[in-house]
Structure 1
Amino acid sequence: MSRWSILALLLGLLLVAAPFSKHQLAAASDEYDDDDEDAPSAPKDDDEKDVVVVTVKNWDDTVKKAKFALVEFYAPWCGHCKSLKPHYAKAATILKAAVPDAIIAKVDATVEESLGSKFSVQGYPTLKWFVDGELVSDYGGSRDTEGIVNWVKKKTGPPAVSVEDADKLKSLEADNEVLVLGYFSELKGADYETFKSFASKTEDVAFAETTSAEVAQAAGLEAAGTVAVIKNFPGEAREVAVSSDLSGLEAFVKGEKLPATIEFSQENSGKIFNSGIPKQLILWASPDELAADAEVMSAYRAASKKFKGQLVFVTVNNEGEGSEPVTNFFGLKGASSPVLLGFHMEKNRKYKLSEPLTAASVEAFAASVADGSAQPEYKSQPVPEDPVEEGVTVVVGKSVDSVVMDPTKDVLLEVYAPWCGHCKQLEPTYKKLAKRFKKVSSVVIAKMDGTENEHPSIEVKGFPTIIFFPAGEDKTPIALEGGDRSLKALTKFIKSKAKIPYELPKKSGGAEEAASEKDEL
């Protein structure tokens, strides 16, 4: 599960790169099977006419010779790659005309494995930025057409576009849902340098600058040394927010660059998760309840204005195709709507409003999520009557404290997803491991379904995640790093981390098994 794929679920997510929750939620929405890694590469269609197909053979003649290149490393079976495809193709067409020095390219990393390995590609899609044929950075923008275009323009051009007349401003507004315009008497001085520095570091919105009073007036600016955030969101009236506090420019733009509420979707995931605001409110509701004139939506929008810049207010149509990641991530199958949720990306904490949804309760709940006083909720399946399956102890959220946190046990925990191909490949090895330690009473080999169970002490950034919890009062988790999950590697990992001394029972079966045992130890 890639990072963009977590709330890329959620959404890494509906990822680019972020904490577990963002990735897990995204991963849950993947439309591919991890096992299908040998699927053939799909041919490029007409919509991708401006996307350059790169292989090992033509790398030097394309990326190496380009002044600028944005390269997507993808897999044909990857659900997130499929979702990105139309946005990437449209961005390529726009940028072909707007930035002729840049190429927008793609590499089928399942075929061109050496390229993926060379540039440390570990998930799909991975986008990387090259200048004069040399890798400079990973892509850091949102994964929609506008985000890709703005990011490449920012990387290849000036931090802010100069605007001399109102017609140019109107044209820029037509091309950008959000435009930040700075008005200065002259393009120098401390205020201007503050504006230019912030513009150069901010990649998810477009910036413009002007010394024209006509342009300033069209943007609602009266005095020089002021900044306007001009918003033209689909279905909403043009809105302008103005600030004269250049020292608070970052907070001002962060609070104004999103609409009052934003729909959860693959296209909007970058805006939600790369907004710079780690906390979100999520209204999971029916289409009628999300209607502009609905009482629930009115209360939600009213709260969004009071907590601008502190929370991202997300809506989820629970009858829509894109609702499944959120429904699964928060355990809402069969729930009655509306449901108001809170989510803290950086800490992977989830919250739920437990009382009826009213204007007062929405505002109070939003305040508690914003100030950190809300009590988090964690999913858990029922504790199984017989928790041992073929030697592996089955753990759920409610039994983590009694099993995994038991100070008298060294515990190896695998957090898996039922749909994860890599987890399925690991299963027989993990069962052998449990059998190997069956008579070692101080060691517990355990597993937990990470899609149905959570615990604040367990951080999961992908499936499977393998964590060792050493015996003792300080149960500080130790994650297994690297891709070697063989019986030998797992046995050595336990041996090196266990606090309670033990001896594995000797195998019987001749020289071959004796040699195998020696390797494991």
Structure 2
Amino acid sequence: MAASEVILLAALWPLWMIGAAAASQQHDLSKASAAAPPMPERVATLHGSNFDAKLRESDWLIEFYAPWCGHCKRLMPEFEQAAETMAREETPVQLGKVDCSKESKLCGRYGIKGYPAVKFFRDGMPPRSYRGRRQADSLVAYCERMIQPPVKAVDSVAALTTYHHDFDPSAVGCLLFIPHSPSSAGHLVPLAYLHLAVEYRDRHFFAVTYSLDVWIDAAPPTVREKRQSFSDKVFLLTSVGEGVDPDVFAAADMGQMVRLDVGEPQGGESESETLAWLQTWLKAHRFPLVSEMGRDNFFDLTHAGRRTVVLAIDPDTPSAHTHLKALQAAAKRHKNDFFFGYVNGVQWGESLEAFSVDAARLPKVVVIDAEKEAFYEDDTLLTIDSLPEGLDRLLKGQLARQYEGLWGMPTRMVKGARRMANGTIAFASESVLNLLVVLGAAAVVVMVVGGCCFLMLLPDEVPTADEDEKTADASADAGGDTDVSHKRQQQERKKER
């Protein structure tokens, strides 16, 4: 071995030893990692292959999402925190997630059209859509609420108040009075009320009392005055949300009280009719006279079957309280025609631009007609200072609808294009691969549009080579016929001579 080779090996020997040690350490780490059990997911990943089996094991709150969805990314940490809290408190509900970009068939099965969509699954019943606040504490409270008995018995107003507050201080609920002691044969809660509670317990609380004193103390003053007439009847009373005057709430009207005879047959046509009537009644009176609107209830309030009067205000201005009083006065007059709400026009100014609300020009009144995808606004005829009269004009058809017909089409197209552009930008920013997909799609669109434009610029008819030959032959034939005719004329002239 040459001296130069010895020197080279001596120089490389330390480097080789360092590399060997690093490789050995990496191998040990790999073995340890392989031997250690995998960390369990806080939020389980569900697939079409295991979805039904998992649902049979437990109750579930499941997020249907798309990887490119920004709202989904913001919700997932809250979902994980909620899952950790419920695991620590041993709440018997599991949280899961479904990637709709990979599980399109499964998401289509449940009608998922927007992301994120959160649904609660229990006991093989149809899933319930979650529309509450997208925060961990709200998710936990919702799951705990959904696994509790649908109707709670209360023996005092304090117990009812605590139940109301723990459920949701702003929620509207029902208190059923049954004029029998729980030990008597007639204490059973009517099935119609139970069915109503099961259907709506995700947004309303339902209680029952066997004490007339409790029921009367929870009722509005107009009900208390007629105390003696309730001693032998079953009544349903809708409670009020926090900060709402009971005297102007719909349930204060005696015509809105519901009588359920305990002795009625359980089931059959009368029971189903009672349930249908209760459902209609609760849908019409499930909101306070005036609701504070936000992300959690804006959709429900504007899609509840009536047009919704929305007052956008700046709550920090001295006149805000006066404007709310004016809105409440209009609500008393038109409580059977519209739902009423107010919203922070400064905080939600950008979202309200679609309804011609300018955060710099508040207060602003708009009436949303979700069924017709339209709204009404008029800075002269529909203002907070003349709201009752403005609503009268609307009911008489004297106010023009916005977004109606061809006039609203440009605005709808601009809004749609803006949503598409925002979604495309969000998708492209996810990864280099997504960016390449967007650029490739854009290139295809440019090629197609460019090709169409090129074809439009071409002349309508371009003669082909075959057509040119036929034209030449026709010309030659025509020329030959002319020569023959000329010769015949010369011969005829010679004969005449």
Calculate the TM-score normalised by the size of structure 1. 0.55
**Equivalent residue for 1:378, pick from 403, 413, 420:** 403
The 1:278–1:356 alpha-carbon spacing in structure 2 relative to 1, beyond 3 Å, is closer
8 Å CA contact 2:43, 2:79 repeated in 1: no
Going from structure 1 to structure 2, the CA distance change for 1:414 and 1:198 (only over 3 Å counts) comes to closer
Matched residues in 1 for 2:401 and 2:85: separation? 44
1:338 equivalent in structure 2:
363
Give the corresponding residue for 2:390. 365
Aligned to 1:80: 71
2:352 corresponds to 1:326:
yes
Is this contact kept in 1: 2:290–2:340, CA < 8 A? yes
Are residue 139 (structure 1) and residue 166 (structure 2) matched? no
Aligned identity (percent) is 20
Tell me how far 1:349 sits from its aligned partner.
0.6
Give the corresponding residue for 2:422. 420
1:185 alignment counterpart = 179
RCO comparison, higher one (Cα < 8 Å, 6+) = 1
Where do residues 3-14 of structure 1 align in structure 2 (5 Å cutoff)?
none
User: Are residues 264 and 70 of structure 1, via their aligned partners in 2, closer, same or farther at CA, if it must alter by over 3 Å?
Assistant: same
Query: Cα gap change, 1:347/1:333 in structure 2, threshold over 3 Å: closer, same or farther?
Result: same
Matching residue's letter, 2:195? S
Matched residue, 1:119: 107
State the Cα distance separating 1:326 from its structure 2 match: 0.9
2:410 match: 396
Aligned partners of 1:81 and 1:125 also within 8 Å:
yes
Q: Give the CA deviation at 1:183.
A: 1.0
Distance 1:205 1:347, change over 3 A: same
C-alpha separation in 1, matches of 2:320 and 2:393: 25
Contact 1:129 / 1:138 at 8 angstroms: preserved in 2? yes
Partner of 2:162: 171
Instruction: Report if aligned partners of 2:349, 2:359 keep a CA contact under 8 Å in 1.
Output: no
Which structure features the higher share of helix residues? 2
Q: CA deviation at 1:266?
A: 1.8
CA distance in 1, matches of 2:312, 2:384: 16
CA distance in 2, matches of 1:100, 1:263: 31
Q: Which has the higher strand share?
A: 1
Would the alpha carbon gap of residues 381 and 126 (structure 1) be closer, same or farther in structure 2, given more than 3 Å must change? same
Q: Which sections of structure 2, spanning at least 5 residues, go unmatched? A: 1-39, 260-273, 429-437, 463-497
1:261 aligns with 2:274: no
Whether 1:106 and 2:106 are equivalent positions in the alignment is: no
Separation in 2 of the partners of 1:419 and 1:273? 26
Change (3 A) 1:431 1:353: same
Q: Does 1:227 align with 2:236?
A: yes
Change (3 A) 1:212 1:199: same
Do the aligned residues in 2 keep the contact of 1:128 with 1:137 (CA within 8 Å)?
A: no
Give, as a single letter, the amino acid of the residue that structure 1 aligns with 2:417: Y
Q: Could you give the per-residue CA deviations for residues 188-231 of structure 1, whole angstroms, max 9, x where no partner exists?
A: 69993443333333242111122222431332264232222222
Q: Give 1:474's aligned residue.
A: none
Distance 1:86 1:205 in 2: 27
* Alignment partner, residue 310 of structure 2: 282
Q: Give 1:231's aligned amino acid.
A: V
Q: How many residues align?
A: 361
CA contact (8 A) 1:379 1:397 kept: no
Ranges in structure 1 where 5+ consecutive residues have no aligned partner: 1-49, 384-394, 401-412, 442-503, 507-521
Contact 1:184 1:210 in 2 (8 A): yes
Give the CA deviation at 1:309: 5.0
Aligned-partner residue type, residue 107 of structure 1: K
* Separation in 1, partners of 2:371, 2:102: 33
In structure 2, what residue type is equivalent to 1:262?
S
Question: CA offsets per residue over residues 257-294 of structure 1, 9 Å max, x none?
Answer: 333433442233354346x2342122223335585533
Aligned residues of 1:251 and 1:309 also touching (Cα < 8 A): no
Deviation per CA, 1:462-501: give whole Å up to 9, x if none.
xxxxxxxxxxxxxxxxxxxxxxxxxxxxxxxxxxxxxxxx
> Structure 1 residues 209 and 291 mapped into 2: Cα distance closer, same or farther (>3 Å)?
farther
Shift of 1:363: 1.3
